[in-house]
Amino acid sequence: MQDLKLRASENRGKSQLEAGFDLLGWDEVTQGSVLPSFEGDASGIANLKAEERNYSGYNSYTATVASWRVVKPVFNIDVCIDCQNCWVWCPDSSILSRDKQMLGIDYDHCKGCEICVEVCPTNPKSLLMFKENEDLETALSGWPEKTKKEKN
Q: How far is the CB of 135 from ligand SF4 (least distance, A)?
A: 18
- Rounded to an integer, what distance in angstroms lies between the CA atom of residue 152 and that of residue 150? 6
Q: For residues 97 and 104, give the distance between their C-alpha atoms in angstroms, rounded to a whole number.
A: 7
Which residue's CB is nearer to ligand SF4, number 57 or number 124? 124
CB of 148 to ligand SF4, least distance (A): 19
Contact positions toward ligand SF4, by CB under 6 A? 73, 80-86, 90, 92, 94-95, 102, 105, 110-116, 119-120, 122, 126-127
* 58 CB burial (10 A radius; 0-12, 13-18, 19+): middle
Q: Nearer Cβ to ligand SF4, position 23 or 74?
A: 74
Of 23 and 112, CB closest to ligand SF4: 112
CB of 61 to ligand SF4, least distance (A): 14
Least Cβ distance, residue 65 to ligand SF4 (angstroms): 8
Compare residues 102 and 139 and give the one whose CB is closer to ligand SF4: 102
Distance CA 68, CA 64 (A): 9
The CB-side HSE value for 129 (13 A sphere, CA atoms) comes to 13
Query: What is the C-alpha to C-alpha distance for residues 74 and 130, in angstroms, rounded to an integer?
Result: 7
Beta bridge partners of 102: 97
